[in-house]
A and B are shown apart, each in its own frame.
Chain A
Amino acid sequence: MLTDAQVAHLEQKAENVRETIIAMLVAAGSGHTAGPLDMADIFAALYFHILQHDPKNPAWEERDRLILSNGHIVPVRYATMAHAGYFPVEECLTLRKFGSRLQGHPERTRLPGLETTSGPLGEGLGQAAGIAYALRMDGTKNRVYCTMGDGEQNEGSVWEALMFVGKYKLSNITAIIDRNNIQIDGMTEQVMPLEPLRDKYQSFNWHVLEVDGHNIPQFIAACDEAKAIAEKPTMIIAHTIPGRGVREIEGDYRWHGKPPKAEEAKRFLNELRTMQGKVISEHQ
């Protein structure tokens, strides 16, 4: 069990990550807003509590692997990596700029600490599966985490990978779906219905958990449970609110693929800072 102080620390990190995301999107002038904001709690939990990793030695053999299948939400990963000490937070402002290591979609060969190159949807789980299969062949105990979008579940290749992982019972994989119910053209259930999503994964021989993606202790508990399930891979459906933290954009699919303008960002940051005050006071 996490102490209140630990939870407060992680929530604080998530808010720092959100602020950085807003700043980097404004500087970039393009990019995705809703997904990165709604995954900030999960990324803070991963990098500051769950993952076995070393920011000073990104290629450490014993590290857990985090695969970002939904590459378009990479600002949240860059921001969290920066706050975790992989590179200076200021470098986040180079996002999407010419010559930057922080490409619009993540490229492994450009930035140490990225495990794969991703963005085109539906390819992360397969790569995670390959890593997990190879680690198991070599008797290595590290875990492989793979985040995916919900819109991404439209891709047939996701289901190829789900079948493969189920067949080989790759229980060293924990996959995390950002179930924020939006994709570029609208709500997921209108664009291409996914429900009953839980039943689908279960029928593909996955162990399925559902959590509130903004409840850090709940998410950590689910990851702990996944480690204890040796018979099956685990899928965590993390229900999130797109644009979480900025009330005026929360739940609005139109914020999937655009960045805030400078004046909007000022409002958003203000709100985040107010919320941060609230987070801190709640735990004091």
Chain B
Amino acid sequence: MIEPSAHLREDIFDSKESAATRDGFGKGIVEAARTDVRIVVLSADLAESTRAEWFQKEFPERFIEMGVAEQNMAAVAAGMAAAGKVPFITSYAMFSPGRNWEQIRTTIALNEMPVVVCGMHAGVSVGPDGATHQALEDIALMRVLPHMTVISPCDAEEARKATIAAAQLGKPVYMRFGRSATPLITTAETPFEIGKASILYHPGGDALQKKVALMATGALVHSALVAARELEKEGIGATVVNVSTIKPLDAETIVRVARECGAVVTVEEHQIAGGMGSAIAELLAQQAPTPMQFVGVHDMFGQSGEPAELIEHYGMGVSHIVEAGHRVCSARSV
């Protein structure tokens, strides 16, 4: 059953409405900027597709066109933050933080500057652009940096809230957004707090002997919810956790749910190496060793295609999550 305190949409399994998380960013940044004059947005020649354009239209004097120069964009943002601004830097995740990782490390993270790095078009769901533009390593790149907060919203509404929260955090932040429209899950009433993982779904009743936790991030949270319902039909009670903040991890919630369920499947649109699942494995190995399965990309680059077929091809579809749930449950019994 859906966790009532999560205030999810009633139609989550019918997927009546969808929007891209980048649209949530576009809305959130405009909303945040209306009350916070410190906010500036820097764009590396991608204002339309990053939705920075929505901000540009309302606040042209606070929008800065950088040209196709992501390294300089990071350094300029660090300088603006040093002079009291709250800069959001926008590009595709492949280029920022992909290309400008060292500038982010030195001038933003080590330098403790409250710059928000917004990586759009993350994951294979970029689609037709192909492997060159499909960032599958960005979570790894950002979560290894001290002082960095890493956020990966599950839908456009959570992306909106996360953007507003990131502006107020006063620390370096990486936010990961997707290109394609994905199902809306949350509502305006759904709580969001940086650093908190939220339980969205519980097994219906205690009748089910086998249990598994599906810990997901980004748009695949919706697939995890669909998979949870499938697993329930097949006799496995699944708890779905939305890990929207990958760093710092909500250790309390994750350890508690892992102990309750005794088996964990992580789900992300990212390389398995170094991603959200790795972060959870590092935590659980130390605090609550638990059998795990990882749904994500298996050390491969993507290719051109439609988002849905790519998600399937690279092993991140609902059926893959369900299979992983079965596998991890059998691993536990041995």
Contact = CB atoms under 8 A, between A and B. Distances in A.
A156 B102 contact: no
B64 interface: yes
B110 A130 contact: no
Nearest to B103: A123
Contact of A134 (B61, B79, B102, B111): B79
A129 to B, nearest CB: 5
Interface in B69-121: 69, 71-72, 74-85, 87, 102-103, 106-107, 110-112
Interface string B170-183: 00000000000000
Contacts of B40: 134, 137
B140 interface: no
Contacts of B79: 67, 116, 126-134
Interface in A134-169: 134-135, 137-138, 156-157, 160-161, 163-164, 167
Given A109-B112, A157-B103, A134 B69 contact: no
Interface in B21-52: 40
B72 to A, nearest CB: 4
Taking each of B62, B110, B111, which has the highest tally of chain A beta carbons within 10 Å of its own beta carbon? B111
A119 B83 contact: no
Contact of A123 (B64, B69, B75): B75
Nearest to A129: B76
A105 to B, nearest CB: 9
Interface string B137-173: 0000000000000000000000000000000000000
Nearest to B68: A160
A138 B112 CA distance: 22
Given A108-B111, A120-B106, A130-B75, A160 B69 contact: yes
Contacts of B111: 107-109, 116-117
A161 B72 contact: yes
Given A126-B72, A157-B72, 5 more contacts: A117-B107, A117-B110, A124-B75, A132-B79, A160-B71
Interface of B: 40, 61-62, 64, 66-67, 69, 71-72, 74-85, 87, 102-103, 106-107, 110-112
Q: What are the 8 A-B residue pairs with the smallest beta carbon separation, nearest first?
A: A130-B79, A126-B75, A134-B83, A160-B72, A127-B79, A130-B76, A160-B69, A130-B80
